[in-house]
Structure 1
Amino acid sequence: MSGYSDSDRARWAAEPPKRRDRTAFERDRARVLHSAALRRLAAKTQVADPGSDDFLRTRLTHSLECAQVGRELGKSLGCDPDLVETACLCHDIGHPPFGHNGESALDAVAQACGGFEGNAQSLRILTRLEPKSFGPEGRSVGLNLTRASLDAVMKYPWRRGEPPSLGKRDGSGGPYGIYDDDADVAAWVREDAPEGRLCLEAQVMDWADDVAYSVHDLEDALVAGHVDFALLGDPAERRQVAKTAAKLYCDADIAELEETFARLLDEPYWPDRYDGTNRALAALKNLTSTLIGRFCLAAEDATRQAYGPGALTRYAADLIVPRRQRLECALLKGVTAHYVWISHEASRARQRELILELAELLAGGAPDTLDPPFRAAWEDAGDDVARLRAVVDQIASLTDTSAIALYGRLRDAA
């Protein structure tokens, strides 16, 4: 593991030597792969509801594809591939039922205990909630991953409200990755890290997520019939997509986005249509693989031009992604947001209502309504704030299907 120190391989709770000859980062990857939190992503929303179509992706399949993209990009730059893959597998592990839609609802529920954020929940799961290891004082330390692996997962290594300059363009609070009551382990992870700066492995994970998300969600939207290739050929439709991308994903004016979109669609690998045949599926798969290669090679080449050859790890370099590819990626995400999310707002509203009502039912009947791990946390809590966090942790652990089922049982019993 050239480029990584003993401090990078250290664990929050010291462990005795292992007999099998595996690297510390191989062990981290194995722990995540065997975790219940990762398995639950199989029944959490990506674009469509899990189970609505055998072809469409879930949070788990997205995470696996992100891991493949990130592993190869990281390896090409000299990062430890197991470390990058671990970060990619974990990047969505804190997402609650119904994806970002459920995240916003659960944040409203959790205001009295510090809010809810999927990235902060990921750190909480990995260092506290996923049962694997306990420290000498009897506290759960989650999967007890290495410092470098946890640092690579931390896309937003700060608490809510800091740094304020990183808030969203609409003036609302920006994303964050640390809850106040997880500040101690976060401080240990970031012990020698430059303030506010992401390690290279986290930057690779973040770009791999954007690449997989933008390309594969577009593929799913096309197969599901939400997007028609013919629509993308209409300048008026492209302008609407550009407006959505500018609002949600990037700082660019509409004219620049329209020009970038037109140039991207002029590339020869875009199919003319999609009709569900094997030939059309093959053409679509060629599109996705070509786009992934385009985005990753652009980042690899730009980073190598800046830093030269040799292994790049941790804080020795920053990932450089050319502006054109960043805008192209934002536009592809804009396609899915414009044609899928906006058109499904009615069902999304019902999902948010379910989370809010489920929180009331769980809190009203606690601790009896909680599963054993969260019941114990509720009973051990010293105040209402900690008890609310136990309820929030319970809801966040649920899948889409188990949230619906639990809501139904509690509603019927009320």
Structure 2
Amino acid sequence: MHREHDDPRTLRRSGGDSATPVPADLAASPFRVDRDRVASSPFFARLGGVTQVVSSAGSGLLVHNRLTHSLKVAQAARAIAERLGSRPELVGVLDKLGGCDPDVVEAASLAHDLGHPPFGHLGEQVLDRLARHRFGLSDGFEGNAQSFRIVTTTDVRGPAALGLDLTVAVRAAMLKYPWTRLSYPQPHPRELAAPPRGAAEPPDAPGTGSAKFSAYVTELDDLTQAREFYAGRLEPWQQTVEASVMDTADDIAYAIHDLEDFHRVGVLQHATVSAELNTWLDHAIELASLSAVDLAAQARRPGRSLEALRRRLHAKDSWAVDDDAFAQAVAKVRAELVDGLLSVPFDGSVEAEQAVAAFSARWTRRLVDSVGVVEEPTTRSGHVVLAVRQWHEVQVLKFVHRRFVLLRPDLALHQRGQARLLTALVEALEQWVTDRHEADRLPRRLHDLVELAGAEYASLARTDPAALVGATGETPSGPDAVQGLARGRAVVDFIASLTDNQAAALLDALSGRTGQLWTDAFVL
């Protein structure tokens, strides 16, 4: 009879027997244990204070933060996994590819955003720049890699006070981009003719490695152990099926819930969205005939941005894009979003709340129900995919969010202030960490992180010094240089574990802008 502890997917980093949970665990299933460990983590709780796109303060019943986003991703991911598992024709395929367990995808979905720093993606970009250029850390900062570092290394609530000691399957399912920035695996996926999503280098930063990746060099052992079971089943750069489910659910949640939020706070305006979609639908042939130069010159006129999206999809995802499906998707979004949800301004009434809820539920079910499995996908796709029509609809929904929310000057103004705040906080904490006269009064958490990173980088300097080559192309030499890397990683780890309010309050205190000696915004 098959026993759970014979299943290699249930192995933990510690080598412990997953079939015999430690006393603190309540569940019997190892994957449910993982789900509970993530949900009980203080890193998970802090997501309630981390921005998704804008702060939820003063915006009515709900604007999504990273916590509510993670819960909705987990909800959609579990539903997808259960639907796929109930289809008899997929049972053999899923088993051949390594499995698709609803508990695994739920645990990975809850954990996927643990590493998001204060102020969301803006914070991610700022910390990456500072990590690489100020501290010389070769793999900088990346939210997915930080999530993996938390569950394997910096979270202390696990049985051994070193990460959460999750199973192979759940750790592998967290690896949306199963490679490091520069060096693993070899050949590196950024060198493929058609690199997987996220693996290519940013066009404005050649030589820096992949734009997205799911593990730092310090967690390479955890990545390779988590992926060992899938060798021979998947290419080294391919997501597991469970990671692909999580990734798809993340796309669904992002496409729908951010639109809800900005309708709720009055940012997403009916007239401008309507003009963009209707102009493209009425003049699609004419817009398709414009040269690239003319299209760019007319970028601010309605319909042009949507035409630019259609061309970008052809350039990047020619395997999936279809002009008829694209046109149908634009018409569908116009009918449901423009003529439906946005046609009546949100006023906080019962009717308005029900309209938002109905829009969200209808779209979530439509997209979740359309998910299928491809046994041999293109390098640009995982094994779990949306149907052609729904894939195009998600691209159009995400376009509306980007075009009419993310590119707004007032949001940019707000985010530039957040970027300055994080930059100043990094500088202030670096000064504190390097002040030998204040070494005894360093926050204990930051002190512990410096010690942890010091051991990691000293080990890498002995065993794999090439992994420490920074933005200058030079290998750090000597204990001072290695300790400098450790201090930089510790400062980044510390700041990435703060909420938005904690980051602001900590900088106020470090800048002498507050007379309050004790604050509940942070604990030192």
TM-score range, shorter chain: 0.7 to 0.9
Output the CA distance in 1 between the equivalents of 2:242 and 2:178.
13
The share of aligned pairs that are identical, in percent, is: 32
**How far does residue 169 in structure 1 lie from its aligned partner after superposition?**
7.0
In the alignment, what sits opposite 1:396? 496
* Counterpart residue type for residue 387 of structure 1: R
* Residue number in structure 2 paired with 1:360: 427
Note if contact 1:215-1:288 (Cα within 8 Å) is conserved in structure 2: yes
SS at 1:110's partner residue?
helix
In the alignment, what sits opposite 1:202? Answer: 243
| 8 A contact 1:244–1:337 mirrored in 2 | no
Moved more, 277-286 or 377-386: 377-386
Please list every run of 5 or more consecutive structure 1 residues that lacks an aligned counterpart in the other structure: 308-316
Against the structure 1 CA distance between its residues 288 and 4, is the aligned structure 2 distance closer, same or farther, given a 3 Å change threshold? farther
Q: CA deviation at 1:339?
A: 2.0
2:78 corresponds to which residue?
71
Q: Structure 1 residues 59 and 21 mapped into 2: Cα distance closer, same or farther (>3 Å)?
A: closer
Are 1:59 and 2:66 an aligned pair? yes
1:102 aligns with 2:123: yes
| Distance (whole Å) between structure 1 residues aligned to residue 54 and residue 143 of structure 2 | 19
Structure 1 residues 391 and 254, CA, compared in 2 at 3 Å: closer, same or farther?
A: farther
CA distance in 2, matches of 1:160, 1:358: 25
2:392 to 321, 327, 349: 327
Paired letter, 2:200: G
Structure-2 change in CA distance of 1:12 and 1:407 (3 Å):
same
TM-score after normalising by structure 2: 0.70
Matched, 1:119 2:191: no
Aligned to 1:374: 446
State the distance in 1 between where 2:307 and 2:109 align: 28
In the TM superposition, residue 284 of structure 1 has moved relative to its aligned partner by 2.2
Contact 1:250 1:330 in 2 (8 A): no
Q: Name the structure 1 match of 2:218.
A: 181
- Where structure 2 has 5 or more consecutive residues not aligned to the other structure, the ranges are 86-99, 183-187, 280-301, 376-381, 459-482, 515-524
Name the CA distance, whole Å, in 2 between partners of 1:365 and 1:339: 41
Give the conservation status (yes or no) of the 8 Å contact 1:44–1:50: no
Matched-pair contact (CA < 8 Å) for 2:266–2:345 = no
Residue in structure 2 matched with residue 314 of structure 1 by the alignment: none
Question: Bigger CA drift: 116-125 or 160-169?
Answer: 160-169
CA distance in 1, matches of 2:5, 2:412: 46
Q: Distance in 1 between matches of 2:241 and 2:345?
A: 38
1:264 and 2:349 aligned: no
**Which of 1 and 2 has greater Rg?**
2
Task: Decide whether the 8 Å contact of 1:238 with 1:258 is kept in 2.
Answer: no
Secondary structure at 1:178 match in 2: coil
Question: Would you say the 8 A contact 2:4–2:10 is kept in 1?
Answer: no
Task: Name the count of aligned residue pairs.
Answer: 397
Task: Tell me which residue corresponds to 2:297.
Answer: none
State the partner residue of 2:464. Answer: none
2:16 match: 15
Shift of 1:358: 0.8
In the alignment, which residue of structure 2 is the partner of 1:27?
33
Q: Which amino acid aligns with 1:28?
A: D
Query: Measured at CA, do residues 245 and 46 of structure 1 come closer, stay the same or move farther in structure 2, by a change above 3 Å?
Result: farther
Decide whether aligned partners of structure 1 residues 401 and 76 sit closer, same or farther in structure 2, where only a CA change above 3 A counts.
same
Measure the CA separation in 2 of the matches of 1:57 and 1:370. Answer: 34
The residue type equivalent to 2:344 in the other structure is R
Q: Which moved more, 1:376-385 or 1:190-199?
A: 376-385
Shift of 1:290: 1.0
Cα-to-partner distance string for 1:337-363 (whole Å, 9 max, x where unaligned): 222222111111111111111111000
Whether the 8 Å CA contact 2:333–2:397 is kept in 1: the answer is no
Is 1:213 the equivalent of 2:283?
no
Distance in 2, Cα, partners of 1:128 & 1:358: 23
Q: How does 1:303-318 map to 2 (within 5 A)?
A: 303=373, 318=383
Within a 5 Å distance, the mapping from 1:156-305 to structure 2 comes to 156-161=177-182, 162-164=188-190, 165=195, 166-167=199-200, 170=203, 172=205, 173-193=210-230, 194=234, 195-234=236-275, 235-236=278-279, 237=302, 239-240=304-305, 243=308, 251=317, 257=326, 260-266=329-335, 270-271=340-341, 272-276=343-347, 277-299=349-371, 302-303=372-373
C-alpha displacement at 1:202, in angstroms?
0.6
Highest RCO, 1 vs 2 (Cα 8 Å, sep ≥ 6): 1
| Cα separation, 2, equivalents of 1:91 and 1:129 | 15
CA distance in 1, matches of 2:513, 2:336: 58
Question: Does residue 92 in structure 1 map to residue 113 in structure 2?
Answer: yes
Distance 1:209 1:386, change over 3 A: same
Q: Please give the TM-score of this superposition, normalised by the length of structure 1.
A: 0.87
SS at match of 1:167: coil
SS of alignment partner, residue 320 of structure 1: strand
Instruction: State the distance in 1 between where 2:504 and 2:322 align.
Output: 40
Q: Which amino acid aligns with 2:166?
A: L
Name the aligned partner's letter for residue 25 of structure 1: F
Give the deviation of 1:232 after TM superposition.
Answer: 2.5
1:22 partner SS: coil
Please tell me whether residue 345 in structure 1 is matched to residue 412 in structure 2: yes
How many angstroms apart in 1 are the aligned matches of 2:503 and 2:309?
Answer: 30
Rounded Cα–Cα distance in structure 2 between residues aligned with 1:254 and 1:409: 55
